[in-house]
Amino acid sequence: MTLKMKFKLLLAIAVTNLVVLNAFPVPAQLGIRTSLAQNSAEVKNWQPYQIPNEFSIRYPSNWFLERSPQPAGATPRELIIITNLKPTLGGGRVSPNLIKTDIAIEPDNLETVVNQMLESVEPGTRLTRRGKTKVGGREALRLWFAGANTNTIITLIRYNTNETLSMKSYYQKNHSALPIIQTIHGSVRAIE
């Protein structure tokens, strides 16, 4: 991996962590309803979202989705952010109920992206679980990380021979978020 690639990856991780920790100044009392966080089966309505000729995903219909189309040749090629609380710019306290998922198409094969993720783990963060899986019939790897304040679940899907679809969900020690995060991660389907 080149120094430039490592820098871009570390920068992307640092920016994402800053966003999770500082850019959502939602007062703690405005957290999501417990029933929405506890079990994906309790979510009554799932909203489909599709990027033509790329992929589709489903998320709870009362959540928020933002797409940041990237210019041609940009890394990553696509960027979608899904949150259960309305994003607000600026510093402030993050609700312990915040769940944030970033979805991107990374410009490397699955093995390279996995190695980049494992090499760029922030100090104080540890890999707690790792498992192979299939998502939409495609080979995938799921990684669970525990940090000082934020836990992360990453699902990396072999998108094609030179690209990997990555989903990174961040949550603050709210273990009731796991079923809904795993349902979102499992809903992705590549469009061919």
Q: How far is CA 19 from CA 74, 105, 115, in A?
A: 20, 19, 24
How many C-beta neighbours within 10 Å does residue 75 have?
Answer: 15
What per-residue confidence (pLDDT) applies to 97? 83
Residue 95, pLDDT score:
76
Domains, the chain: 3-190 (3.40.1000.10)
* Residue 90 region by backbone torsions, left for phi larger than 0, else alpha for psi between -120 and 50, else beta: left
List of E strands, 52-108: 55-60, 64-67, 79-83, 99-106
pTM of the complete model: 0.75
Q: How far is CA 175 from the centre of its chain?
A: 16
Structure tokens at 118: 């494992």
Which residues of the chain fall short of a pLDDT of 70? 1-42, 72-76, 88-94, 192
Distance CA(32)–CA(165), nearest Å, equals 28
| Token output for 96 | 């312990």
What SS3 state is found at 161? Answer: coil
Q: What secondary structure letter does DSSP report for 71?
A: P
pLDDT digits (tens, 9 = 90+) for 30-70: 333 333 444 555 678 999 999 888 899 999 999 999 988 77
